[in-house]
Chains A and B, each alone.
Chain A
Amino acid sequence: MTVPMDPTMEIGPLRIADVDVLIRTNSTDLATVARRVFAGLDRPPGSPPASRSVTFETVGHRDPEPHWSIHRDGQPCETELTDAGVLVHQQWELNRLAIESVPTSIHGAAVVVAGRAALLVGPSHSGKTTLAGWVTTRLGARFIADEVASIDDRRQVLPYARPLGIRPGGPLASAKPSGDPSPADLILQRFMPEERLVPITELGGVVWADAAAIGLLVFPRYDSGSPLSVRRLSEADALEGLVALTPGLVRHGRSVFECLSGVVANTPAVELHYGDVRSAAPIVVGELIEQGGRS
């Protein structure tokens, strides 16, 4: 089969903050997988076009060896990607766009309970995605963001329902139905042989599509086998934690600090040290409900 080199298939428009995003590709397989994986980022039906737009061209090449390239508005992002790397890198480019678009964008996930968001803040492997996924799929919270939690001028979390990165053997992996792989699963395995990108809806979760006021800051810390512990954080500790995980602070400076300062001044914060998500997840929901009752 001859693969056309012109990127003629489109995924999107997706909505990242205030930007409409199109991904154009020449691969039917990639288009199929990307539409499925990035479904949570689709521009809401009936929404008017955004004031800005970005087009990615994610193109498969056959010469000299099979590889992929990603260009953003004509500028190269990566040009030597493998099957296993292209989708992950595409996701990374979307994250980057989200961070660029909103100055106060924090490395974190967010879920909504009773209309208020818990912001789960932490570096990679701190357990925030697992916690957000579990709270959403098992405890009825709404999923609003993962990896990038952007905060607007009113100190609300903006939706960024990117797919969850699910590792084999992890708690969320068991939430996915097992069975013989279908043809679609085989295509997924081609692009995601290790960590799988899975929309929360495929795990039975529901997306929260609007901005949400922040009701709780959670700094998860996952250690396998660790007993559950919850520690209240001071405003100073919470602010220092947020600052360390907000890349836009370096570029935008004072305005971002003041936004984060406003967040910690109005939001209780806890460090949640856990080894089993089943015991940690109810803490997040309980704290949010408790804080909602006080406000």
Chain B
Amino acid sequence: MTWHPRDVPRITDAVAAHVPADGSDIVIFHDGSRGLHRLAGTAIPIWRSIDGVRTVDEIVSVVAAEHDVDPVDIEGDVVAMLDRLRDDEILQRRT
């Protein structure tokens, strides 16, 4: 089941993230699977905008504004990334 525009993604408690000061990839560690994930490129601003308060719609808007593009043009990519992170149990829907 994919995200609804009003869903609020939140980072699960099992996750620790290293957000580098040098602008390099974000490194995510999942304590349950002990797996490592790297987020690069456009995934970085998406990750930064996930704060457990913003809805999917708001995240799309924030990222679109940051890149000066139409939200409609990036909505699919943002949702696809959120889907992937949810499948990896890095994100969950805030209840």
Report whether chain A binds chain B: yes
Chain B nearest Cβ from A259, distance in angstroms: 11
A223 within 8 A of B: no
Mark interface residues in B4-43 (1 if CB within 8 Å of A CB, else 0): 0000000000001010111011110101001010100000
Inter-subunit contact A250/B34 (CB<8 Å)? yes
> A240-B27, A240-B38 known; A234 and B16 CB under 8 Å?
no
Q: Contact residue range for chain B?
A: 10 to 19
Interface positions of A from 236 to 254, Cβ below 8 Å from B: 236-237, 239-240, 243, 249-250, 253-254
Chain A nearest Cβ from B11, distance in angstroms: 13
Instruction: Identify the B interface with A (CB < 8 A).
Output: 16, 18, 20-22, 24-27, 29, 31, 34, 36, 38
- Residues of A within 8 Å of B20, CB to CB, are 234-236, 264-265
- Residues of B within 8 Å of A254, CB to CB, are 16, 29, 31
- Residues of A within 8 Å of B34, CB to CB, are 249-250, 253
Bound together, the chains give a CA A250 to CA B38 distance in angstroms of 18
Inter-subunit contact B26/A236 (CB<8 Å)? yes
Chain A nearest Cβ from B35, distance in angstroms: 10
Inter-subunit contact B31/A261 (CB<8 Å)? no
> A249-B34, A254-B29 known; A235 and B24 CB under 8 Å?
yes
Q: Give the A interface residue count (CB, 8 A).
A: 16
- Residues of A within 8 Å of B25, CB to CB, are 234, 236
- Residues of B within 8 Å of A243, CB to CB, are 27, 29, 36
Bound together, the chains give a CA A254 to CA B18 distance in angstroms of 11
Instruction: Identify the A interface with B (CB < 8 A).
Output: 234-237, 239-240, 243, 249-250, 253-254, 257-258, 261, 264-265
- Residues of B within 8 Å of A239, CB to CB, are 18, 27
Chain A's interface: helix, strand, loop or mixed, by majority? helix
Nearest A-chain residue to B23, judged by Cβ: A234
12 contacts between A and B (CB under 8 A): A235-B21, A236-B20, A237-B24, A240-B27, A240-B36, A240-B38, A243-B29, A254-B16, A254-B31, A257-B16, A264-B20, A265-B20
Inter-subunit contact A235/B22 (CB<8 Å)? yes
Inter-subunit contact B38/A261 (CB<8 Å)? no
Bound together, the chains give a CA A243 to CA B27 distance in angstroms of 11
Bound together, the chains give a CA A29 to CA B22 distance in angstroms of 55
Which of B24, B27, B31 is the one whose CB lies under 8 Å from A253?
A: B31
- Residues of A within 8 Å of B24, CB to CB, are 234-237
Chain A nearest Cβ from B2, distance in angstroms: 29
- Residues of B within 8 Å of A236, CB to CB, are 18, 20, 24-27, 38
